[in-house]
Amino acid sequence: MINILRVEFFRLIKSKLFWIMLAICFAAPILLSLALVGLVSLIDAIGGTDSNNISYLLHTIGVTPLTLSELPNVSGNIFLLSLISSSVILSKEFTDGTMRNAILANKSRKQLFFAYLIVAIFIGIAYLLTYFISTLIFVLPIFGFNDLPAGDAATGFLCSLALGICAVVFVQTCVIMFLFSVRKQWATVLFPILITRFVPALFSIIVSIITVGEAFQGNTLSEAFISWMPFVNASLFNAAAVNGALVGKILLYYAIFSGVFIVSGYFTFEKADLK
């Protein structure tokens, strides 16, 4: 497996797409900070509103926790970038037929599957960490962390990072499942995008329908109920007020779904005839 990893990391280093996407992940928090600072300056220049109030508002809303609270959400743009990057780079092995070289080199399908999974997760975590570090450098010093004590802020950071890594694993196992079961580039790109975009949206719609139904009966849908709804529960996560039970439920769902993706992708590939 080590040799497959050496090959894939060599390819990754040579891939322009990987570096472009990584640069975007680094630039996104910078652009966010610049846009917000620019907005405050603009309002200040116009003189319509007290810029201190705007600054205070942005500070209170909590730009940093809001940014970090998005990390467990698989519909986030950061996951879209990592999904596209890994699926395009890795599926090239099937479109170029170079996957055969590994099989000819006596590598088992198990080694291939798990080596690719490791590379895909590496790509996702590299993007996530880049985004996370860039947020720490360019967002946190400007907007703060809701004046929370250092311990709470650290918990918020770590939990959002841990959940973000779980979301990466979910997204990348999904990519790998389609890569090894369909073995076509378009499917490896398209289907994970559809799953990460539409499945959470579908669960949100279900929750909305139930909420409306309950409202007609004069009831309110409890947060505890929503916290059990996969994907929707990720939107409840707040990095500034970490709820341990919620974090556990989010982790549980991502672990279950990732496991299903791994098992189905691996066993399909194990039996498949390759071109």
Partner 1 sequence: MADIMISTKNLCKTYNGKTVVNNVSIEIERGAIVGLVGQNGAGKTTLIRLLTGLVKPTSGTFSLLPSQERRDNDVAAIVERPSIYTNMSAMDNLTIQSKLLGIVVDKEYLKSTVRLVGLDPESNKKVKNYSLGMKQRLAIAMTLVGKPQLLLLDEPTNGLDPQGIFDMREIFVKLNKELGTTLLVSSHILSELSKFATEFYIMDRGSVLTRVTADELQNANGKRIRFKVDNLEAAKETLSQYGKTEAVSANELELYSETPITQAMLSLAQAGITVTNVVQLGDSLEDYYINIVRESRNNKGGTSL
Interface with partner 1 (CB under 8 A): 2-4, 6-7, 10-11, 14, 92, 96-107, 271, 273-275
Residue among 256 and 274 whose Cβ is closer to partner 1: 274
Residue among 59 and 109 whose Cβ is closer to partner 1: 109
Cα 221 to Cα 75, 227, 243, 248, 268, distances in angstroms: 23, 11, 18, 21, 40
Least CB distance to partner 1 at residue 15 (A): 8
Read out DSSP for 191-218? HHHHHHHHHHHHHHHHHHHHHHHHHHTT
Least CB distance to partner 1 at residue 204 (A): 39
Residue among 79 and 94 whose Cβ is closer to partner 1: 94
The identity of residue 153, as a single letter, is A
Residue linked to tokens 């990466």? 168
Instruction: Please state, in angstroms and rounded to a whole number, the distance separating the CA atoms of residues 225 and 236.
Output: 12
Least CB distance to partner 1 at residue 89 (A): 10
Least CB distance to partner 1 at residue 10 (A): 6
Residue among 92 and 197 whose Cβ is closer to partner 1: 92
The DSSP letter of residue 109 is H
